[in-house]
Amino acid sequence: MAFRCFPGIFLLCFSVVFPVWSKDPGVASTARTFTVMAYNVENLMDIDRIAPYDDYAEVPGDPNSYGPGKLLRKLKTISRVLKSVDNGAGPDVVILNELEADHTPDTTVADMGAFLGKYGGTTYEKMLNPRVTGRGLADQSLGGRRPEGVCDSCWGSSCWSRRA
């Protein structure tokens, strides 16, 4: 068993020390420091109202439910924390924990290039504000399709509740 592990260990050691063996003298001098940040965003969910937990589905009329306002506050906090690193430049690498896995893969944007071309200069504040964008760009990204779990009478209205 030890012999079978030897090639993998050898390759790992070789890859770690390879820059020392390089014929190019400038290789070692190009090293630079960089910042890596791991950040637990504590259940950052989208607002498509389809979530594995009822705590992350907006309840119409409940200001404490997880809706555009709460998501906006979370995004502003994340932005503020990232900007606090390296005198406002932010980290070079960010590892985000506790992001929601998409439960509506059939609602992805078909042409990402066109979507980014149309909304590339838009702020997330505008994307989450239904007064500015009708139902909000976050909802429009569904392409007009009613997601599973949203009642027919609520789809497209300001109510948008989940089925019990």
Per-residue model confidence (pLDDT) at position 23: 60
pLDDT band for position 17 (50/70/90)?
very low
Give the residue from 50, 44, 45 showing the smallest Cα distance to 146: 50
Mean per-residue pLDDT, 70-79 = 92
Per cent of the chain over pLDDT 90 is: 21
* Mean pLDDT of all residues belonging to the chain: 71
- Answer yes or no: is pLDDT of 60 > 60: yes
Provide the token pair at 125: 């504040």
Least confident range from 26-30, 49-53, 63-67, 109-113: namely: 26-30
Q: Residue 136, Cβ neighbours under 10 Å: how many?
A: 17
Q: pTM for the complete prediction?
A: 0.58
- The pLDDT tens digits for 99-124 are 887 777 777 788 889 988 988 888 88
Contacts of 151 (CB under 8 A, 6+ apart): 161, 162, 163
Separation CA 140–CA 73 (nearest Å): 21
- The pLDDT tens digits for 122-160 are 888 888 876 544 444 455 444 445 444 444 444 443 443
pLDDT band for position 57 (50/70/90)?
confident
